[in-house]
């Protein structure tokens, strides 16, 4: 975006006085006097013509919020963003900076960035009259043309508009009513730039009146002294929608002068949420360790925010900020970092258990999240993931529960369908969604709209490959050739003793010294579950249980099998690895129940 007054950059030295500025070869005094709203309009039009990204780093607003902002700017309107916390309002407002010229000439030393050709403050007018073309100018970069203020009830007129400075008056031997004794507030200092006020409804009524007068008349009053100051400012605001519409919070004349009210929103898809979190969360750490966050983990973290937003117990007025998944993700990585350092692993790979650990920190903070949302194996929560997706897909359903009656066979293998699914998958939303989607696809390909048993068994084979791939990603950074190791379990029985496991690992060239570590890793990754009581197996969905389960497993082994531990291979991997089911097992802890 070439500024109108940038001829100095074309090989000429930068003008340092008003005279030098006027002598720029293609100097155009009209475009040098352009208002900030026209300057933004001009640069925005050019960006649109060139198909440049308008708000880089803002995701999910391409078809909703951004077109409205563009319209407001093209109309040269002041505007307000209405939205809940964590909806990128501040980022958008700061993003307006990019539509300003890289730098503009101002009269040197002026507190309100006076235009060298049209100064409005008395100091500059006197100076130009006295010094003429030799009056010095400065070049103001655009990042200094954005002024931001969070409105709070204790913000004063002096803060925003200005005050009389008695010291200045005394020093200059001037009268207090003299314009030269004024100490300018934030708004005049934003002259020829953008002034953003966040949480506008918290601004006291009389300051709103002051703002209005400036916008309307170019007049301000300081300590009762009227002052003509036709400022050139783009005013932008943000507010919580409920506060903004509440009676008496915004004075009507000010509201009338705000040209556009634009509603922001949370990401509408998991994918949008993921890109925001990816961009904002600090996951590329500086410890010298490589950090690899598996995709399914990103989805999980995002799903937490989506579920929380749907949760009735979360205050709708404050919402669940996008900062929630961002902070969770950062804590997830920290937890994984801590573990990697302790275990002397060279790569940091977060796991599901790190999410529990991260969520624990949040559950303690009030109004952030209901504690229940921490527990992924919570049956209601997982089931709701599916019900919500169906309801949102436009399916003609009155109640979420209808999803099951309408689209799924009531039982699989004699077990209620929901319960069956719960036993076959790793309790994570992505796994659940994968299995359900795959089963639906098989049903549709067979010309049905209801998933039958046969569709489930086909879907399970697909899912099993998917679950194994995820496991390979997770384990792969800790042991090489993990895929090869896992494939050595093909056609194993579901229940397997420690010595059988070792035999298979040795066949896959695992050194004897590493056997214990690999088994432990397989337990951590829920490929294997402990036998915690005779014929009762538990998977380590929660890291907190490791010590307890491990002691119970030792005890069970000592009492029943001469100290040889037994493990169960998780059903998620059965279909792909053709694991032989064991009839005598009880399913262990019931994870998902209708
Ligand atoms: Zn000035």
C-alpha dist (Å) from residue 388 to 122, 380, 398: 63, 12, 12
Ligand 1 centroid – CA 126 distance (Å):
9
Measured in Å, how far apart are the chain's first and last C-alpha atoms? Answer: 60
| pLDDT class of 449 with cuts at 50, 70, 90 | confident
The radius of gyration of the chain from alpha carbons, rounded to an integer in Å, stands at 33
Ligand 1 centroid – CA 111 distance (Å):
6
Ligand 1 centroid – CA 115 distance (Å):
8
Residue 132 has pLDDT above 80, yes or no: yes
| pLDDT class of 387 with cuts at 50, 70, 90 | confident
Ligand 1 centroid – CA 140 distance (Å):
14
Ligand 1 centroid – CA 559 distance (Å):
90
- Rounded Cα–Cα distance for residues 245 and 240 (Å): 9
Token readout for 182 is 């004024």
| pLDDT class of 593 with cuts at 50, 70, 90 | very low
Ligand 1 centroid – CA 352 distance (Å):
59
Task: Kindly state the average pLDDT of the residues 153-170.
Answer: 81
Count of all residues that appear for the chain in the document: 594
Q: What are phi and psi of 411, to 5 degrees?
A: -135, 155
Task: Kindly state the average pLDDT of the residues 206-217.
Answer: 84
Ligand 1 centroid – CA 127 distance (Å):
9
Task: Kindly state the average pLDDT of the residues 171-196.
Answer: 81
Strands 103-107 and 260-263: unpaired
Q: Which residue has the tokens 């030269």?
A: 180
Domains of the chain in sequence order: 14-263 (3.40.50.300), 270-374 (no CATH), 386-594 (no CATH)
Ligand 1 centroid – CA 109 distance (Å):
8
Ligand 1 centroid – CA 270 distance (Å):
50
Ligand 1 centroid – CA 527 distance (Å):
72
Ligand 1 centroid – CA 114 distance (Å):
5
Ligand 1 centroid – CA 122 distance (Å):
7
Chain-wide mean pLDDT for the chain? 83
Specify the long-range contacts of residues 43-48, CB closer than 8 Å, at least 24 apart: 43/1, 43/99, 43/100, 43/101, 44/70, 44/73, 44/74, 44/99, 45/74, 46/1, 47/1, 47/99
CB 72 within 8 A of CB 260: yes
Ligand 1 centroid – CA 125 distance (Å):
7
Task: Kindly state the average pLDDT of the residues 363-382.
Answer: 48
SS (H, E, C) 200-263: HHHCCHHHHHHHHHHHHHCEEEECCEEEECCCCEEEEEEECHHHHHCCCCCCHHHHHHCCEEEE
Ligand 1 centroid – CA 30 distance (Å):
19
Residue 344 has pLDDT above 70, yes or no: yes
Query: What is the reported pTM?
Result: 0.62
Ligand 1 centroid – CA 199 distance (Å):
30
Q: Flag the least confident range among 19-23, 68-72, 204-208, 346-350.
A: 346-350
């Amino acid at each position: 975006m070439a500024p109108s007054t940038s001829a100095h950059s074309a090989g000429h030295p930068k003008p340092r006085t008003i005279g030098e500025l006027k002598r720029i070869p293609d100097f155009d005094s009209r475009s040098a006097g352009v208002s900030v709203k026209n300057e933004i309009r001009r640069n925005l039009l050019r960006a649109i013509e060139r198909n440049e990204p308008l708000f880089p780093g803002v995701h999910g607003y391409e078809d909703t919020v951004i077109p409205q902002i563009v319209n407001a700017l093209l109309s040269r309107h002041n505007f307000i963003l209405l939205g809940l916390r964590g909806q990128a309002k501040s980022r958008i407002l700061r993003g307006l900076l990019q539509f300003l010229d890289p730098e503009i000439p101002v009269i040197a030393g002026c507190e309100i960035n006076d235009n060298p050709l049209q100064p409005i403050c008395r100091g500059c007018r006197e100076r130009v009259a006295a010094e003429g073309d030799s009056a010095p100018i400065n070049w103001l970069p655009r990042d200094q043309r954005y002024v931001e203020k969070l409105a709070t009830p204790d913000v004063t007129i002096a803060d925003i508009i200005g005050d009389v400075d008695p010291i200045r008056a005394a020093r200059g031997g001037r009268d207090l009513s003299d314009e030269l004794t004024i100490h300018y507030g934030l708004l005049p200092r934003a002259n020829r730039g953008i002034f953003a006020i966040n949480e506008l409804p918290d601004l006291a009524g009389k300051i709103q009146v002051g703002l209005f007068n400036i916008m309307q008349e170019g007049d301000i009053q300081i300590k009762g002294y009227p002052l003509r100051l036709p400022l050139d400012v783009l005013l932008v605001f943000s507010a919580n929608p409920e506060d903004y519409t509440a009676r008496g919070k915004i004075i009507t004349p000010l509201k009338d002068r705000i040209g556009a009210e634009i509603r922001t929103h949370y990401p509408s898809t998991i994918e949008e949420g993921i890109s925001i979190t990816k961009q904002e969360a600090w996951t590329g750490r500086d410890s010298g360790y490589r950090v690899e966050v598996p995709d399914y983990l990103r989805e999980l973290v995002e799903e937490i925010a989506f579920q929380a937003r749907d949760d009735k117990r979360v205050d709708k007025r404050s919402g669940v900020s996008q900062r929630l998944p961002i902070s969770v993700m950062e804590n997830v990585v920290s937890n994984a970092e801590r573990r990697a350092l302790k275990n002397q692993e060279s790569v940091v790979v977060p796991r599901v258990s790190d999410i529990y650990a991260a969520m624990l920190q949040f559950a303690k903070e009030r109004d952030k999240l209901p504690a229940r949302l921490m527990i992924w194996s919570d049956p209601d929560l997982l089931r709701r993931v599916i019900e919500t997706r169906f309801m949102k897909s436009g399916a003609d359903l009155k109640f979420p529960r209808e999803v099951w009656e309408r689209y799924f066979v009531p039982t699989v293998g004699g077990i209620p369908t929901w319960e069956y699914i719960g036993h076959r998958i790793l309790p994570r939303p992505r796994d659940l969604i994968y299995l359900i989607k795959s089963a639906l696809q098989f049903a549709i390909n067979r010309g049905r709209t209801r998933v039958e048993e046969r569709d489930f068994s086909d879907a399970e084979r697909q899912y099993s490959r998917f679950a194994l791939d995820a496991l390979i990603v997770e384990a792969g950074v800790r042991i090489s050739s993990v895929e090869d190791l896992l494939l050595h379990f093909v056609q194993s029985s579901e229940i397997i003793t420690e010595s059988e496991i070792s035999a298979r690992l040795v066949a896959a060239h695992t050194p004897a010294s590493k056997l214990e570590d690999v088994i432990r890793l397989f337990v951590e990754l829920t490929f294997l579950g402990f036998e915690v009581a005779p014929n009762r197996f538990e998977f380590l969905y929660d890291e907190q249980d490791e010590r307890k389960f491990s002691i119970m497993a030792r005890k069970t082994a000592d009492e029943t099998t001469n100290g040889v531990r037994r493990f169960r291979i998780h059903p998620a991997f059965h279909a792909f690895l053709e694991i032989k089911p064991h009839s005598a097992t009880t399913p262990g802890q019931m994870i998902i129940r209708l």
